[in-house]
Amino acid sequence: MNERKLLEHIYARSAGMEAENRPVLVGPGDDCALVTGAAEHLLTVDQLVEGVHFTTGTDVELIARKAIARSVSDIAACGGTVQVCLATGAIPAAYEQADELFDAMRRWAAHWGTPLVGGDIARIDGSMVLTCTMIGVPHGARGAVLRSGAQVGDGVFVTGALGGSFQTGMHLRFEPRLKESAWLCDVLGNGLHAMIDVSDGLGMDAGRIGVQSGVRLRLWTDHLPLCDLGELKGGKEGWKMVNDGEDHELVFTASGDVPDQCPATGTRISRIGEVVESCDAEQGCVFVLGDGSEVCGDEGGWSHATGEAGQ
């Protein structure tokens, strides 16, 4: 299975559903779907698979935290506020901490301001799979921030630091950037053009903005804010490390002046590139190395099909 080709197939088959289904404003292809009724809502769903997203024996609290946080991060990536969530669990028959797991999921949902209102449980022979569906609302003034709005001339920015999520354990402890997202919508308004959370790797996720916006993101490796692991350096090594994924920082494009820190949280905001015209519809992102050479970014990142990070 080629994950990218499968997603392209899904997006192509879903094209036009906005015209066919009145409630659907944005269908498959963004961090959240956008639907409308009496008001617009953001919808997202994410899975947490044992052996892929966490190892067997991981603390129950951390499993529950990550199951909820992944979907919360998707809502943040669209500039939204969470409202309610539902969760399902395919639980191994021999697993003895199911009660503790779902109690912890309820607590973490409440931590980020959303009640866990329902779901489903099944006993299986195999690895655990948890699914969290989250419903949110777009920013009241700015509206939903999509992947498709990047414009030539925008700067490319990222919150926090990138790389080393698995080595540091931050893939289990990351903080969804809800406050930072709301602040960006407040201060930048319509100057905030596109946004995505980095779950599959900087190159792959930034490339998704580029492809869906019909532009190219040029990212400068010497400007990447890397986590402090000692061995992490700028240039090509930094480019490789940020392709591991699971950072769940926000990458966004914007015009005008962007503050270098979110005052509510102290989170750093770094400019890491620029948006330029695209001459290749399938290449949405390139990394510019220290010597000026360029490396395609779209193929780097975590592949759910292979279970490996590309280089």
pLDDT of amino acid 281 = 73
pLDDT of amino acid 230 = 44
Q: Are residues 33 and 132 in the same domain?
A: yes
Is 62 exposed, middle or buried, given 0-12, 13-18 or 19+ CB atoms closer than 10 A? middle
Token pair belonging to 94: 């021999």
How far apart CA 134 and CA 295 sit, in angstroms, is 35
pLDDT of amino acid 82 = 95
pLDDT of amino acid 309 = 42
Structural domain contains residue 283: yes
Which residue spans within the chain are E strands per DSSP?
24-26, 33-36, 40-49, 80-92, 116-124, 129-138, 155-159, 192-197, 215-220, 250-254, 269-277, 285-288, 294-296, 301-303, 308-310
Q: Among residues 138, 173, 197, which one ends one of the domains?
A: 138
**Position 124, amino acid:** I
Q: Are residues 128 and 159 in the same domain?
A: no
pLDDT of amino acid 232 = 45
Residue span of the structural domain in which 213 resides: 147-310
C-alpha pair distances (Å), 113 with each of 74, 197, 211, 217, 274: 15, 19, 33, 34, 34
Q: Among residues 114, 138, 162, which one ends one of the domains?
A: 138
Lookup result for tokens 């044992």: 50
How far apart CA 99 and CA 94 sit, in angstroms, is 13
Cα radius of gyration (the chain): 19
User: Residue 103 is part of a domain; what is its CATH number?
Assistant: 3.30.1330.10
DSSP, residue by residue, 154-212: -EEEEES-BS-HHHHTHHHH----HHHHHHHHHHHGGGEEEEEE-SS-HHHHHHHHHHH
User: Residue 220 is part of a domain; what is its CATH number?
Assistant: 3.90.650.10
Q: How many helices (H) and strands (E) does the chain have?
A: 9, 15
Q: Are residues 195 and 94 in the same domain?
A: no
Q: Are residues 196 and 129 in the same domain?
A: no
C-alpha pair distances (Å), 4 with each of 51, 205, 279, 280, 286: 21, 12, 20, 16, 17
Structural domain contains residue 10: no
Contact between 194 and 281 (Cβ < 8 Å): no
Q: How many CA atoms lie within 13 A of 39 on its CB side?
A: 11
Q: Are residues 156 and 134 in the same domain?
A: no
pLDDT of amino acid 11 = 58
Q: Rounded to the nearest 5°, which phi and psi values hold at 88?
A: -120, 155
> What is the sign of the dihedral through the CA atoms of 165, 166, 168 and 171?
positive
Q: Are residues 81 and 109 in the same domain?
A: yes
**Count: domains in the chain:** 2
Q: Among residues 97, 120, 138, which one ends one of the domains?
A: 138
Structural domain contains residue 12: no
Which mean pLDDT values do the consecutive 10-residue runs of the chain (311 residues) have?
Answer: 56 56 72 81 95 93 97 98 91 89 92 89 92 96 97 98 89 96 98 97 95 95 80 53 88 96 96 92 88 83 42 39
